[in-house]
């Protein structure tokens, strides 16, 4: 007889398809749930609910409740999953079929090989933003001599969980960083993450504020301004995956009409905060490079600009040099 894990109640919203009829085989004295059978059942269940990475999600959540890494699941593939872990796992399955992002369920996301605490309503770091880190590290090396160790000041706009500024600080021990975010929640999550990196805490100052409004160019100017700002066009909001639309903070993603309103404000104001030859480096949507080049030229504040492509050949980073 086919076995099922009863994950029906409580649901906060309707699943896209009905849950299977429950048959609690364990209580009926049938064979126990092993890592293998739990993963197989959950993968099928997630696939029925149209979750794209069904197997991966099943593994990540099971590893999370068992407090192990994913590899350990395979080393204990035929072991019985304890009843208490199974109960906890079922709760996570329900959250995932309600489209809650995995990172909010586990409370963690890796970025540039560093683990970050994430919780709503703070944006989950994206792998594509690692390009920004790579570009900045290269840029700093090129601009601070062969050792790459000269003093360097960075202003980040849009702290989020602190992933970008902490990753930069870890790799640039000479950098002094100010990071500003309009969201109080973002600043407090970033502060929590920063506590886990005492080697960076003296060099990163977190500030709550609206873009550059609370900062004074006569007090501090920077070698580099870096930002992964909100750049999703308001018009595209309804097309986003439910994981994003229903759980992630709109303030972190919605860049207004055409997605370029915040980018426009940053480009128009950033040059005052840059030292001579300083650069502004921003992540952009793949169809926004031309608009950014136009804005940079219109301001008359930048000597040159360039666009960098990601591994898929899409223009995703815009650089303007003062
Ligand atoms: C796309 S997230 C980037 C988070 C993180 N730096 C990263 O790269 O993963 C954009 C961030 O900008 C912040 N933000 C949005 N509007 C802002 C504004 N007007 N001033 C400052 N920060 C803003 C959001 O709160 C959010 O944390």
Cβ proximity of 90 and 135 under 8 Å: no
- pLDDT of the residue at 149: 60
Cβ proximity of 24 and 6 under 8 Å: yes
- pLDDT of the residue at 18: 34
Ligand 1 neighbour 19 (Cβ under 6 A) = no
Pocket test for ligand 1, best of 156, 160, 189 (most atoms within 8 A of CB): 160
Q: Which residues contact residue 266 at a Cβ distance below 8 angstroms, ignoring those fewer than 6 apart?
A: 157, 211, 212, 225, 227, 229, 280, 282
Confidence of residue 5 (pLDDT cuts 50, 70, 90): confident
The whole-angstrom separation of Cα 70 and Cα 128 is: 23
Q: Which atom of ligand 1 is closest in space to residue 283's alpha carbon?
A: 8
Ligand 1 neighbour 291 (Cβ under 6 A) = no
More confidently predicted of 65 and 8:
65
Q: Indicate whether 92 pLDDT > 90.
A: yes
Ligand 1 neighbour 229 (Cβ under 6 A) = yes
pTM of the shown model: 0.90
The whole-angstrom separation of Cα 110 and Cα 112 is: 7
Query: Atom 14 (ligand 1): residue with closest C-alpha?
Result: 158
Query: Atom 26 (ligand 1): residue with closest C-alpha?
Result: 252
- pLDDT of the residue at 29: 56
292-305 pLDDT, tens digit each: 999 999 999 999 99
Q: Which atom of ligand 1 is closest in space to residue 159's alpha carbon?
A: 6
Pocket test for ligand 1, best of 109, 117, 123 (most atoms within 8 A of CB): 123
209-218 pLDDT, tens digit each: 999 999 999 9
- pLDDT of the residue at 11: 33
> What's the gap in Å between 46 CA and the centre of ligand 1?
31
159-210 pLDDT, tens digit each: 999 999 999 999 999 999 999 999 999 999 999 999 999 999 999 999 999 9
Q: Indicate whether 10 pLDDT > 50.
A: no
Pocket test for ligand 1, best of 180, 227, 229, 264 (most atoms within 8 A of CB): 229
269-291 pLDDT, tens digit each: 999 999 999 999 999 999 999 99
Pocket test for ligand 1, best of 103, 230, 316 (most atoms within 8 A of CB): 230
Cβ proximity of 179 and 225 under 8 Å: no
100-138 pLDDT, tens digit each: 999 999 999 999 999 999 999 999 999 999 999 999 999
Alpha carbon of 292 to those of 72, 177, 227, 230, 314: distances in Å? 47, 25, 14, 14, 15
Backbone angles phi, psi at 150, to 5 degrees: -65, 160
Ligand 1 neighbour 162 (Cβ under 6 A) = no
- Report all structural domains of the chain as residue ranges with CATH numbers, in order of start: 1-98 (1.10.8), 121-321 (3.40.50.150)
Q: Which atom of ligand 1 is closest in space to residue 132's alpha carbon?
A: 8
> What's the gap in Å between 14 CA and the centre of ligand 1?
31
Query: Atom 17 (ligand 1): residue with closest C-alpha?
Result: 182
Q: How many CB atoms lie within 10 A of CB 180?
A: 24
Ligand 1 neighbour 227 (Cβ under 6 A) = no
Query: Atom 11 (ligand 1): residue with closest C-alpha?
Result: 158
């Amino acid at each position: 007889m086919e076995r099922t894990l009863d994950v029906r109640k409580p649901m906060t919203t309707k699943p896209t398809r009905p849950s299977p009829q429950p048959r609690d085989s364990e209580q009926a004295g049938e064979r126990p749930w092993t890592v293998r059978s739990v993963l197989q059942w959950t993968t099928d269940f997630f696939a029925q609910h149209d979750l794209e990475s069904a197997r991966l999600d099943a593994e990540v959540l099971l590893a999370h409740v068992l407090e192990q890494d994913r590899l350990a699941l395979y080393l204990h593939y035929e072991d019985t999953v304890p009843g208490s872990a199974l109960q906890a796992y079922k709760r996570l399955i329900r959250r995932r079929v309600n489209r809650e992002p995995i990172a909010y369920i586990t409370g963690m996301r890796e970025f540039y090989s560093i683990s970050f605490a994430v919780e709503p309503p703070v944006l989950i770091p994206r792998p594509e933003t690692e390009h920004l880190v790579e570009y900045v590290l290269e840029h700093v090396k090129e601009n601070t001599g062969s050792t790459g160790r000269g003093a360097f000041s960075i202003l980040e706009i849009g702290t989020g969980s602190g992933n970008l500024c902490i990753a930069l600080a870890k790799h640039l021990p000479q950098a002094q960083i100010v990071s500003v975010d309009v969201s109080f929640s973002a600043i407090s999550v970033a502060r929590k993450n920063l506590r886990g990196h005492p080697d960076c805490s003296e060099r990163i100052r977190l500030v709550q504020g609206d873009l550059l409004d609370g900062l004074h160019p006569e007090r501090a100017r920077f070698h580099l301004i870096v930002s992964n700002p909100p750049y999703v066009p308001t018009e595209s909001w309804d097309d986003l995956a439910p994981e994003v639309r229903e759980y992630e903070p709109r303030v972190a993603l919605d860049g207004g009409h055409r997605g370029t309103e915040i980018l426009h404000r940053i480009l128009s104001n950033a040059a005052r905060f840059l030292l001579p030859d300083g650069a502004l480096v921003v992540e952009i949507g793949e169809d926004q490079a031309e608009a950014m080049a136009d804005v940079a030229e219109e301001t008359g504040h930048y000597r040159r600009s360039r666009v960098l492509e990601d591994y898929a050949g899409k223009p995703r980073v815009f650089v303007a040099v003062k």
